């Protein structure tokens, strides 16, 4: 059985950490005592995330990274190991969206960008995390992939995003299996509608029957609480899959 380590002093990487759910997760981890490397393509956004954390600046590393680029991903993990000495958590959060269009009107460029970011980027980051976590002392760590309800049930006109999230779920499962030998626990969080970060109204969403409807939301704190729950588990315990969504959001029986 793997002994649990206290959260204080543990090290995390959060991809897509310059905004949205990635920023929220990074700040929550920092608030819980972790040191965090925030990665993303926009240096200014990463530095803004770091500045929002009321912690010792030495606990935050803003490292510009395009997760689609294997050399940049490797450089990120090398920098974390050099700065902090180890890695305890990878939150694989970087994503990409595309305008919702019928499949016949979906540009190949949109398909490639979404799949490259979510699937290939997730794989590249997980591969580097395995390399670090399997060779460090003490061995092991945790990977949390940020999925979506669309990993299980699609929305209309979302071929690229739905395919990417389904593929990420498959990646989560195989990494969970392969990680057993190295004390690497791998799980996925699928979060539903989170209230807009700017405080504005929730936009209407296209439903399967052709209607549009404004769906319920949850505050971002429900999401960060779930991430912290998963991250806090000892490595002999894995939250394989966690779905968090508004009680009345269309999901069970969607469509």
Domains present along the chain, CATH in parentheses? 11-244 (3.40.50.720)
Counting Cα atoms < 13 Å in the Cβ hemisphere of 239 gives 20
251 is known as an active-site residue: no
Count, residues in the chain? 255
* 145 membership: H or E segment, kind and range: strand 141-146
- Active-site pick, 154, 161, 176, 184: 161
C-alpha–C-alpha distance, residues 76 and 221, integer Å: 28
Write out the two tokens for 7. Answer: 């959260």
Whole-prediction pTM: 0.94
Write out the two tokens for 244. Answer: 């968090």
pLDDT digits (tens, 9 = 90+) for 71-88: 999 999 999 999 999 999
pLDDT digits (tens, 9 = 90+) for 199-220: 899 999 999 989 999 999 999 9
C-alpha–C-alpha distance, residues 170 and 26, integer Å: 25
pLDDT for the residue 177: 98
pLDDT digits (tens, 9 = 90+) for 20-56: 999 999 999 999 999 999 999 999 999 999 999 989 9
């Amino acid at each position: 059985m793997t002994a649990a380590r206290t959260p204080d002093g543990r090290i995390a990487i959060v991809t897509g950490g310059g905004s949205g759910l990635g920023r929220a997760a990074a700040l929550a981890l920092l608030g819980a005592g972790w040191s965090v490397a925030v990665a993303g393509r926009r240096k200014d956004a990463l530095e803004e995330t770091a500045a929002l954390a009321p912690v010792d600046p030495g606990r935050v590393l803003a490292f510009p990274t395009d997760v689609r680029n294997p050399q940049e991903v490797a450089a990120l993990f090398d920098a974390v190991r050099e700065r902090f000495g180890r890695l305890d958590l990878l939150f694989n959060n970087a994503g990409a969206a595309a305008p919702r269009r019928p499949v016949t009107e979906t540009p190949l460029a949109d398909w490639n960008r979404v799949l490259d970011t979510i699937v290939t980027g997730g794989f590249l980051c997980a591969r580097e995390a395995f390399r670090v976590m399997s060779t460090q002392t003490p061995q092991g760590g945790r990977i949390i992939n940020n999925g979506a309800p669309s990993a299980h049930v699609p929305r209309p006109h979302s071929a690229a995003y739905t395919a990417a999230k389904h593929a990420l779920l498959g990646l989560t499962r195989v990494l969970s299996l392969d990680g057993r030998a190295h004390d690497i626990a791998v799980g996925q969080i699928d979060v539903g509608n989170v209230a807009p970060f700017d405080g504005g109204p929730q936009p209407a969403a296209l439903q399967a029957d052709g209607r549009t409807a404004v769906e319920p939301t949850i505050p971002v704190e429900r999401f960060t609480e779930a991430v912290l729950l998963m991250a806090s588990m000892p490595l002999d315990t894995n939250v394989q899959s966690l779905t968090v969504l508004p009680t009345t959001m269309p999901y069970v029986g969607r469509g």
